[in-house]
C-alpha cells in the first residue's frame, strides 16, 4: 500500500511542478483564490442593513465617487457591495451545476463505453439527442416550468450541458478498455464492477477533473445568461441577477455604466480564471500539449 | 467616454431594430409612434390587446365616446340617446351626413348589423361580448334610429366601447374567426384609415380627410415596432420617432433636459395591488386553493396592510411617479374615486399589537409564514417584493418571495394557490367593470371554470351595494354607492391597493407642438378612452429632423470596426492553433 501512496505522491508533486511552470495557470489559480475569499468574506464584511432596500440612505443612481466607489444602483445600494455579495451565488451555482453535469456525463460515458451492444447504443442516442437540442432553449424551458430558485438553475444547466463530457469520457473509456491489462483483468475473472472501479475510473479521472474545471466556466456563463433573461431567482443576488436588474430598471437609458460593467467584468474574470486553470491542468495530464 | 460608448451601443441598437432613417421634411407630415406590444388582430371583433383595440378605435368610431377634457359621454356615431322610463329600451339617433371612408353613408343599419352580429355569432363576441351580454334585441326602424332593448336596466349603455363596422363590407365576411381585416385601405369611420401592416415592423395609417369631426392636422400616422422600451426611448432621444409611452421611471428621468423632447407625466388608469387571499371559495362555498388560513381573519389582513409603508414604495420603487393607493377606482376618475377620511397609517407597532391580540404570538421571531408571489421580469414586482418582505419581517411575518412567469402567476391566482400576490388592473371611465371583479358571482364554479374574480372577495354588503349601483340612474346617488363599496373593500382588505402609477410619456416637441391629453387635467396622450391624443396632435411649424443620420453612420462605422478587429483576432488565433493541431 505504501508503495502505491509513494508513487501517487511523487506523481502529484511532479504534476504540481508542471502546473506551476505555466504562469497563466498560476495566475488563474490566484484569481480563483481571491474570488473564493471574497465569496466567503463578502457577506461577513457587509453590514446587515447595507443591502436592505428599506434602510439604505444613499440616493439612487449615484456615479462612482467617495463613499460609493462603484456608485449606487436604482435603490441607492452600493454596487461594489452588491458585486461582492453576488460572487458567492455565481460561484456556487457554477460549481454545483458543473459537478452535476460532469457526474451525469461521466456516468453515461463510462456506462456506454464499458457495456457494448444495445444499452450503449441507446445511451449514445440519448446523448446525441441532448447534444443537438439547443442548450439555452432547453434550459429556458426547464427553468420556466420548475419553481424558481438556485436549485432549478443548477438543474437546468446540469441537465443540458452533460453530453460533451459523456462523449469525451466514452472515448477515453473505449481507449482504456482496449489496453492489454484490462483484457488480462477480464481473463482473470474481473467483473464489470472490478474493471470499472479499478481500471477505468482511475484512468478517466484526470480527464474528468479537467472537464469539470472547464465546465464550471461555462456554467457560470449559463447561470448569468439565465438570470439576465429573468429566469433566475431574483431574490438571490448573483452577477447575472445584477445585470438583469440593471437592464430592467433602466441602467442603459440612465447611462449608468457603473451598474453594468462591474458584474460583467466579474463574470469575465472568474470564467477566465477557471479556463486558465483548466488549460494548465490539461497540459499536465496530456504531455502532448507541452511545447 | 462612457456616454459616447453607450450612445454608440444605442445607435447600433436603434439601427438594427428599426433600420430606418428619419423622414425628409418635405414629404407628408407623419407622426411616428413607438409600439412594443404585438397586435393580436386587426379584426375589431377579435382584437383583445390594448395595442390592437387602440388602433381599432382609430379606424372605427363607437356609438358614443368620451370627451377629451372631462370624459363625459359625447357624440360619435350616434348624436343623441334616450332611455325609456323603465330604462329597458334605449333609442340612439345616427345623424345623416357621416360617411364611411369609401363614401357610403353611415346609417343606423350599420349599428344594428354590428350588434346583431355579436348577438348571433359567438366569434363576434370574443373581444367585446360583455357589452351585449344583457341585450335583448337591436333594431333599426329607419336610417337614423337604433333601438336597443335590454333584459335588465343597464347603466353602461352610453359606455359601449364597440367599434361599429360597415355593413356593406362585413356582411359578406363568412369566416369571421380567420378574417384578418387587412384589405388595404380598410374602410372605416374613424379619423384614420389603415393602409399597411407588417407584423413586428410597422403599422401605417393615413388621415381620413373626410372625418365628420374634421380632418386631422397631419397626413400619416405610423406605429413603429421596438423590441423593448429602452430602444424606443433611445430612438425618441435621437428623433427617429415622435411619441413614446409606458416608460419606466428611470427612462423618464433620463429624458429630462434632452433637446427637443417634451415629457408628459400623466395620472394613469392603472393601479398596483397586493392580493391577500381572504380564504378563497368557489361559487358553492367550498374552500379552494391552499391559501394560509390565518388570512381568513380580517384582523390579520388589516395588520398586513398597516405594516406596509406605501409612501416609501411610491418614493423609492416608483421614484415618485405614482400616487399612494386607497380605493380601487384610481383618482384620475375624480367622480368615483374614494379617499378615506383617515388613511390607514403605516404603523408596525400597531400591527404587531393587533397580531398579538388576534392570537398570533411571536415564536422564535416569527408568527407565521406567507408566500409572496409576483411576476419575474416586471420591474415593480421585483423591487416592491423586497420592500414588502422586510416590512412584514418587521412585524414578525416571514414572507417567502416567489417570482415566477406570467403563466405561473396567472395559474396561482386563478387556482387560489397564493397567500400574497402582486396584481394590477386598469379602470375605465365607468367603474362598473373594476367593481364587478370583486363580487361573489365572479368566483369560479364548482368545476373550476368561469368567473374572473380578482381577489376572491365575497361580501354580502359589497354585493348588495353593487346590485344597487348597477340600476341607479341618479348620478349623485350612484357615486355615493360606488364610494361606499370602496370603503367596504378598504376595510375588509381582500387586497391592498399599493399605488396608482403615473403614465409616463414623451414626445418630440420640435416636431409636434401639442397633443390633447385626456382628461385635460393631467391626462394621457396614448391609451385614452378615445383617440384625441392622435387625432388632435398639432405639428410644429418648422418640422425638421437632425442627428439621426450621423448616429446611424457612426453606428455602421462601429460595427465595421468591430467586425474587422474580431476578424483579425480570429485569423491570428487560427494561425496559432493550426500549429498546435495534430
Chain position carrying cell 463578502: A42
More confident residue, A206 or B452: A206
The answer on pLDDT for B407 being more than 90 is no
pLDDT tens readout for residues A18-53:
889 889 999 999 999 999 999 998 888 887 677 877
Which of A54, A58, A142 should one mutate to test binding to chain B, selecting the residue with the greatest count of B CBs within 10 A? A54
Bridge pairing between strands B30-35 and B220-225 = parallel
Closest chain B residue to the Cα of A251, Cα to Cα: B250
For residue A282, give how far its alpha carbon lies from the nearest alpha carbon of chain B (Å).
14
Q: How far is A62 from chain B (nearest CA, A)?
A: 13
Tens of pLDDT, residues B169-187 = 999 998 888 999 998 899 9
> What pLDDT digit, counting tens, does each position of A104-163 carry?
999 999 999 998 889 899 999 999 999 898 878 888 888 778 877 888 889 989 988 899
Residue of chain A whose alpha carbon sits nearest to that of B372: A235
Q: Which residues of A touch B417 (CB under 8 A)?
A: none
pLDDT confidence of residue B561 = 62
Task: Please indicate whether residue B49 or residue B351 has the higher confidence score (pLDDT).
Answer: B351
The DSSP string of B495-546 is EEEEEEEEEEEEEETTTEEE---BSTTT-BSSS-SSSHHHHT-EE-SS----
The CA distance from B45 to B181, in Å, is 10
Between B251, B387, B403, which is nearest A253 by CB? B251
Using a 10 angstrom Cβ sphere, with 0-12 exposed, 13-18 middle and 19 or more buried, the burial of residue B500 is buried
Among B204, B236, B240, CA closest to B222: B204
Partners of residue A74 in chain B, C-beta under 8 Å: 250, 383
Q: Give the distance from CA A13 to its chain's centroid.
A: 26
Q: Residue B398 and residue B165: Cα distance in Å, rounded?
A: 55
Considering only CB atoms, A250 lies closest to which of B250, B376, B385, namely B250
Whole-angstrom Cα distance, residue A57 to residue B31? 43
Q: For B388-434, where are the E strands, in sequence order?
A: 397-404, 420-426
Residues B65, B76 contacting (CB under 8 angstroms): yes
Residue B148 has pLDDT above 80, yes or no: yes
In tens, the pLDDT along B190-247 reads: 999 999 999 889 999 999 999 999 999 999 999 999 988 888 998 999 999 999 998 8
**Which residues touch A82 (CB under 8 Å, ≥6 apart)?**
A51, A73, A237, A242, A263
Q: Which residue has the higher pLDDT, B557 or A65?
A: A65
- pLDDT above 90 covers a percentage of chain A that reads 42
Cβ–Cβ below 8 Å for A148 and B6: no
Query: Does B155 have pLDDT greater than 90?
Result: no
To test the contact with chain B by mutation, choose from A64, A156, A238, A253 the residue with the greatest count of B C-beta atoms within 10 A, namely: A253
- CATH number for A2-54+61-289 (one of 3.90.1170.50, 3.40.50.2300, 1.10.3720.10, 1.10.600.10): it is 1.10.3720.10
So what's the pLDDT on residue B562? 62
Residue A251's SS3 state is: helix
Which residues are paired to B400 by β-bridges? B371
Whether the per-residue pLDDT at A64 is higher than 60: the answer is yes
Pick from A54, A61, A147: which is nearest to B390 by CB? A54
Question: Which DSSP state fits B359?
Answer: T
All cell numbers assigned to A14: 511532479
Q: Which is more confident, B542 or B313? A: B313
pLDDT in tens, B498-507: 999 999 999 9
Does A222 have pLDDT greater than 50? Answer: yes
Q: What 8-state DSSP symbol labels residue B332?
A: T
Q: For chain B, count helices (H), then strands (E).
A: 17, 19
- pLDDT: which is higher, B36 or B577: B36
Mean pLDDT of chain B: 85
Collect all residues of chain A within an 8 Å Cβ-Cβ radius of residue B255: 253
Chain B residues with CB-CB distance to A247 below 8 A: 230
- pLDDT grade for B535, boundaries at 50, 70 and 90: very high
pLDDT of B346 over the 80 cut: yes
DSSP state of B218: S
Report pLDDT for B511. 93
pLDDT bin (cut points 50, 70, 90) of residue B272 is very high
Helix (H, G, I), strand (E, B) or coil at B420: strand
* C-alpha cell recorded at residue B518: 385626456
Q: All 3 cell numbers of residue B299?
A: 384582523
For residue B2, name the pLDDT band (cuts at 50, 70, 90).
Answer: very low
Domains of chain B plus CATH, in order, are: 53-178 (3.90.76.10), 274-502 (3.10.105.10)
CB-CB neighbors (< 8 A) of B309 in chain A? 54
Look at B387 and A53 and tell me if their CB atoms are within 8 Å: yes
- Give the helix, strand, coil percentages of chain A, each rounded to 5: 75, 0, 25
Instruction: Select the residue of A54, A148, A253 nearest B250 (Cβ to Cβ).
Output: A253
Model confidence band, residue B50 (pLDDT cutoffs 50, 70, 90): confident
Give residue B51's pLDDT band: very low, low, confident or very high (50, 70, 90): confident
| Residue B205 and residue B58 in contact, taking contact as beta carbons nearer than 8 Å | yes
Report whether pLDDT(B5) > 60: no
Report the C-alpha gap between A44 and A34 in whole angstroms: 15
Residue B55 confidence (pLDDT): 93
**B407/B402 Cα distance (integer angstroms):** 13
Residues of B in contact with A289 (CB under 8 A): 580
* pLDDT value at B400 more than 70: yes
Q: Nearest CA of chain B to the CA of A172: how many Å?
A: 18
pLDDT(B166) > 70: yes
Least confident of A1-10, A167-176, B17-26, B300-309: B17-26
Torsion of CA B354, B355, B357, B359, to 10 degrees: 160
Is pLDDT of B567 > 70?
A: no
CA dist list (Å): B336 to B326, B426, B522:
12, 14, 17
Rounded Cα gap, residues B238 and B261, in angstroms: 10
**Paired residues of B89 in beta bridges:** B149
> What is the rounded distance in angstroms from the CA atom of residue B306 to the CA atom of residue B355?
11
pLDDT computed for residue B153 by the predictor: 84
| B579 confidence band (pLDDT: 50, 70, 90) | very low
Contact between B81 and B196 (Cβ < 8 Å): no
pLDDT reading at B321 higher than 60 = yes
Chain B residue numbers with beta carbons less than 8 Å from the beta carbon of A231 are 376
Q: Model pTM?
A: 0.76
Half-sphere exposure of B352 (CA within 13 A, CB side): 11
A257 dihedral zone (left: phi>0; alpha: psi -120 to 50; beta)? alpha
Q: What is the pLDDT of residue B568?
A: 55
Mean pLDDT computed over B539-554: 54
Domain spans of chain A? 2-54+61-289
Q: Does B8 touch chain A (CB under 8 A)?
A: no
- Whether residue B377 lies within 8 A of chain A, CB to CB, comes out as yes
Nearest CB neighbour to B233, from listed A55, A233, A253: A253
CA angle A210, A214, A217 (to 5 degrees): 150
Alpha-carbon span B301 to B306, nearest angstrom: 9
CA distance A54 to chain B (A): 6
| CA dihedral sign of residues A158, A161, A162, A165 | negative
ipTM: 0.75
Predicted pLDDT at B21: 43
User: How does pLDDT run across B290-300, given as a tens digit for each residue?
Assistant: 999 999 999 99
Q: Inform me whether the pLDDT recorded for B542 exceeds 80.
A: no
Closest residue by Cα to residue B422 from B388, B458, B462, B390? B388
Least confident of A205-219, B209-223, B425-439: B425-439
pLDDT at B559: 59
Other CB atoms within 10 Å distance of the CB of residue B28: 10
Angle between the N-to-C axes of helices A150-160 and A135-145, in degrees from 0 to 180, rounded to the nearest 10: 150
**CB-hemisphere CA count at 13 Å for A5?**
2
Which pLDDT value is given to residue B582? 38
Residues of A with CB under 8 A from a CB of B: 52-55, 60-61, 74-76, 144, 147-148, 230-231, 233-235, 245, 247-255, 257, 288-289
Q: Which of B267-281, B292-306, B430-444 has the lowest mean pLDDT?
A: B430-444
Closest partner CB to A148 (pick from B6, B10, B403): B403
| Distance, CA of B447 to CA of A49 (rounded, Å) | 48
Q: What is the pLDDT of residues A263-283, one digit of tens each?
A: 999 999 999 999 999 999 888
Are the C-beta atoms of A153 and A220 separated by less than 8 Å?
A: no
Amino acid at each position: 500500500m505504501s508503495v502505491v501512496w509513494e508513487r501517487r505522491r511523487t506523481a502529484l508533486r511532479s504534476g504540481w511542478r508542471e502546473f506551476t511552470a505555466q504562469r497563466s495557470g498560476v495566475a488563474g489559480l490566484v484569481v480563483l483564490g481571491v474570488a473564493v475569499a471574497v465569496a466567503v468574506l463578502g457577506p461577513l464584511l457587509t453590514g446587515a442593513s447595507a443591502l436592505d432596500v428599506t434602510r439604505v440612505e444613499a440616493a439612487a443612481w449615484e456615479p462612482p465617487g467617495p463613499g460609493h466607489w462603484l456608485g449606487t444602483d436604482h435603490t441607492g445600494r452600493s454596487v461594489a457591495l452588491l458585486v461582492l455579495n453576488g460572487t458567492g451565488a455565481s460561484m456556487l451555482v457554477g460549481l454545483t451545476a458543473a459537478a452535476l453535469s460532469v457526474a451525469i456525463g461521466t456516468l453515461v460515458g463510462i456506462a456506454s463505453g464499458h457495456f457494448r451492444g444495445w444499452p450503449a447504443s441507446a445511451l449514445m442516442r440519448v446523448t446525441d439527442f441532448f447534444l443537438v437540442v439547443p442548450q439555452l432553449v432547453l434550459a429556458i424551458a426547464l427553468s420556466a416550468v420548475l419553481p424558481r430558485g438556485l436549485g432549478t438553475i443548477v438543474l437546468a444547466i446540469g441537465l443540458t450541458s452533460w453530453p460533451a463530457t459523456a462523449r469525451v469520457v466514452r472515448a477515453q473509456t473505449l481507449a482504456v478498455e482496449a489496453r492489454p491489462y484490462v483484457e488480462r483483468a477480464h481473463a482473470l475473472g474481473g467483473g464489470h464492477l472490478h474493471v470499472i472501479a479499478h481500471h477505468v475510473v482511475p484512468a478517466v479521472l484526470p480527464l474528468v477533473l479537467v472537464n469539470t474545471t472547464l465546465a464550471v466556466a461555462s456554467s457560470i456563463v449559463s447561470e448569468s445568461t439565465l438570470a439576465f433573461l429573468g429566469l433566475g431567482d431574483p431574490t438571490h443576488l448573483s452577477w447575472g441577477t445584477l445585470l438583469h436588474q440593471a437592464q430592467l430598471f433602466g441602467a442603459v437609458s440612465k447611462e449608468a455604466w457603473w451598474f453594468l460593467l462591474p458584474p460583467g467584468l466579474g463574470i469575465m474574470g472568474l470564467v477566465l480564471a477557471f479556463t486558465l486553470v483548466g488549460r494548465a491542468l490539461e497540459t499536465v495530464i496530456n504531455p502532448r500539449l507541452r511545447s | 467616454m462612457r456616454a459616447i460608448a453607450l450612445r454608440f451601443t444605442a445607435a447600433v441598437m436603434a439601427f438594427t431594430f428599426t433600420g430606418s432613417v428619419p423622414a425628409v421634411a418635405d414629404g407628408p407630415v407623419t407622426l411616428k409612434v413607438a409600439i412594443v406590444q404585438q397586435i393580436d388582430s386587426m379584426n375589431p371583433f377579435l382584437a383583445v390587446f390594448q395595442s390592437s383595440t387602440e388602433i381599432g378605435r382609430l379606424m372605427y368610431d363607437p356609438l358614443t365616446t368620451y370627451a377629451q377634457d372631462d370624459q363625459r359621454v359625447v357624440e360619435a356615431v350616434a348624436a343623441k340617446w334616450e332611455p325609456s322610463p323603465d330604462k329597458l329600451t334605449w333609442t340612439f339617433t345616427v345623424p345623416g351626413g357621416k360617411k364611411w371612408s369609401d363614401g357610403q353613408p353611415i346609417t343606423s343599419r350599420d349599428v344594428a348589423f354590428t350588434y346583431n352580429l355579436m348577438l348571433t355569432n359567438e366569434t363576434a363576441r370574443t373581444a367585446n361580448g360583455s357589452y351585449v351580454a344583457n341585450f335583448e334585441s337591436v333594431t333599426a326602424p329607419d336610417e337614423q334610429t337604433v333601438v336597443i332593448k335590454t333584459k335588465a336596466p343597464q347603466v353602461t349603455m352610453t359606455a359601449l366601447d364597440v367599434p361599429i363596422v360597415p355593413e356593406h363590407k362585413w356582411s359578406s365576411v363568412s369566416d369571421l374567426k380567420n378574417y384578418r381585416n387587412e384589405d388595404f385601405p380598410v374602410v372605416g369611420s374613424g379619423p384614420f384609415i389603415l393602409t399597411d401592416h407588417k407584423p413586428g415592423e410597422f403599422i401605417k395609417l393615413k388621415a381620413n380627410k373626410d372625418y365628420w369631426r374634421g380632418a386631422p392636422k397631419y397626413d400619416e400616422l405610423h406605429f413603429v415596432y421596438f423590441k423593448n422600451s429602452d430602444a424606443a426611448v433611445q430612438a425618441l432621444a435621437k428623433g427617429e420617432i415622435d411619441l413614446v409611452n409606458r416608460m419606466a421611471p428611470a427612462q423618464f428621468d433620463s429624458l429630462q433636459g434632452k433637446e427637443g423632447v417634451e415629457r408628459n407625466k400623466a395620472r394613469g388608469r392603472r393601479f398596483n395591488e397586493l392580493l391577500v387571499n381572504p380564504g378563497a371559495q368557489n361559487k358553492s362555498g367550498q374552500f379552494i386553493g391552499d391559501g394560509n388560513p390565518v388570512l381568513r381573519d380580517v384582523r390579520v389582513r388589516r395588520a398586513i396592510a398597516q405594516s406596509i409603508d406605501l409612501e416609501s414604495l411610491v418614493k423609492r420603487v416608483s421614484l415618485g411617479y405614482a400616487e399612494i393607493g386607497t380605493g380601487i377606482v384610481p383618482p384620475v376618475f375624480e367622480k368615483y374615486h374614494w379617499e378615506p377620511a383617515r388613511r390607514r397609517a403605516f404603523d408596525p407597532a400597531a400591527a404587531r399589537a393587533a397580531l398579538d391580540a388576534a392570537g398570533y404570538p411571536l415564536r422564535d421571531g416569527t408568527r407565521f409564514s406567507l408566500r409572496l408571489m409576483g411576476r419575474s421580469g416586471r420591474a415593480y414586482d421585483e423591487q416592491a417584493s423586497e420592500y414588502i418582505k422586510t416590512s412584514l419581517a418587521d412585524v414578525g411575518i416571514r414572507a417567502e418571495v416567489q417570482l415566477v412567469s406570467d403563466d405561473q402567476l396567472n395559474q396561482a391566482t386563478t387556482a387560489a394557490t397564493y397567500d400574497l400576490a402582486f396584481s394590477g388592473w386598469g379602470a375605465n371611465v365607468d367603474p362598473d367593470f373594476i367593481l364587478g371583479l370583486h363580487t361573489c358571482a365572479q368566483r369560479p364554479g364548482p368545476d373550476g371554470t368561469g368567473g374572473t374574480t380578482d381577489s376572491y372577495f365575497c361580501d354580502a354588503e359589497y354585493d348588495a351595494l353593487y346590485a344597487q349601483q348597477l340600476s341607479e340612474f341618479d348620478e349623485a346617488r350612484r357615486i355615493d354607492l360606488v364610494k361606499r363599496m370602496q370603503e367596504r373593500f378598504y376595510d375588509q382588505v381582500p387586497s391592498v391597493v399599493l399605488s396608482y402609477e403615473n403614465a409616463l410619456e414623451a414626445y418630440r416637441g420640435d416636431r409636434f407642438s401639442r397633443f390633447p391629453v385626456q382628461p385635460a387635467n393631467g391626462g394621457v396622450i396614448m391609451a385614452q378612452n378615445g383617440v384625441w391624443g392622435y387625432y388632435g396632435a398639432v405639428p410644429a411649424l418648422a418640422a425638421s429632423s437632425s442627428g439621426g443620420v450621423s448616429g446611424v453612420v457612426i453606428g455602421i462605422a462601429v460595427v465595421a470596426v468591430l467586425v474587422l478587429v474580431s476578424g483579425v483576432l480570429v485569423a491570428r488565433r487560427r494561425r496559432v492553433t493550426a500549429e498546435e493541431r495534430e
